Amino acid sequence: MAWFTDRHTFLLAVIVYGVSLVYSVFLWRKGFRRDDHVNFFLLLLGFAGHTTAMVLRGFSLKQCPVNNLFEATIFLAWALALACLIVCLLPQLRFVSAFASPVLFTIGVFALMPSLDPPHGPKPEFSHGLQSLHAASILLAYGSFGLGSISAIMFLTQQHNLKFNKLKAVLSLLPPIQRLEIVTQRLVLVGFVLLTLGLSAGGHLPRPEGVKYWRETKVVWSALLWAAYLGLLVARWRFNFAGRRFACGVIGIFAFLLLTFWGTNLLSTLHQQHP
């Protein structure tokens, strides 16, 4: 069918993420006092459509679809959704989907802006294996950071409940606050390792003549992101930068990632497709 394009399929996925967002509001209002199978399956359905859209785009290009801002954005959201679904396989952590759906819906709506997906010119040449490792590592790192920020939000929510509404904290299905802090720290650590691997792989990719890898806009931005997460982890381990401060740091850095990711992509020479 002519209507069954990658963009239309992704639109359907975003609509499902939106339905999941609406359902999440009711879970938040009830304080997560019951298991949310419905929201998990909504997220799974949206992820299926999301994956189909990426596969359709990949087959049309005959390569990994990360050549413009639309493709990079949907890959970022896909990595976050995949990480969330893996975590949600544990029944006691299934409520994570209620925190992930607003992020996925927001990113999806932004990705659908027509200006982000101009017509493709000639296919760019890549070293496929190394380029795929670079893209997958970086984007899975973003997914891990995003999931870490969701865990940090849950930590702050539970901390607020313990301070101002102990009954709500006791009845909630959210895990203990100590476990949320450990999960947040480990997700940030996993993301940091993946980001390090992705940056190292990117340094060995072919690039246009005269373009220096460590002076390129996107690479400098990624290095600053790497340094920010490294500083946060070192502060956590060496200077007892824990609890609310660590959670706020995780949320703040990921918010910076979301707000600046698209702008740096537009300014990047290496991440733009040239006709």
Residue 116, classed as helix, strand or coil, is helix
Q: CA-CA distance, 236 to 185, in Å (whole number)?
A: 9
pLDDT for 131: 65
Q: Does residue 95 contact residue 174 with C-beta atoms inside 8 Å?
A: yes
Q: How confident is the model at residue 2 (pLDDT cuts 50, 70, 90)?
A: low
Residue 181: closest CA among 189, 173, 171: 189
pLDDT for 249: 93
Residue 136: closest CA among 202, 183, 180: 202
Number of H helices, E strands in the chain: 9, 0
The per-residue pLDDT of the chain, averaged, comes to: 76
Is pLDDT above 60 for 173? no
pLDDT for 104: 84
126 vs 74, residue with greater confidence: 74
Which amino acid belongs to residue 268?
Answer: S
Q: How confident is the model at residue 234 (pLDDT cuts 50, 70, 90)?
A: very high
Share of the chain above pLDDT 90, in %: 11
CB atoms within 10 A of CB 221: 19
User: Which residues does 241 contact at the CB level (< 8 Å), separation at least 6?
Assistant: 232, 235, 249
* Residue entry with tokens 């390129």: 216
* Residue entry with tokens 């020479």: 269
Q: Does residue 268 contact residue 202 with C-beta atoms inside 8 Å?
A: no
Q: What is the pLDDT of residues 111-126, one digit of tens each?
A: 787 766 666 544 444 4
Verdict on whether the full-model pTM lies above 0.85: no
Residue 13: closest CA among 45, 40, 54, 56: 45
Q: How confident is the model at residue 149 (pLDDT cuts 50, 70, 90)?
A: confident
Q: What is the pLDDT of residues 7-31, one digit of tens each?
A: 888 889 999 998 988 887 776 666 5
110 vs 170, residue with greater confidence: 110
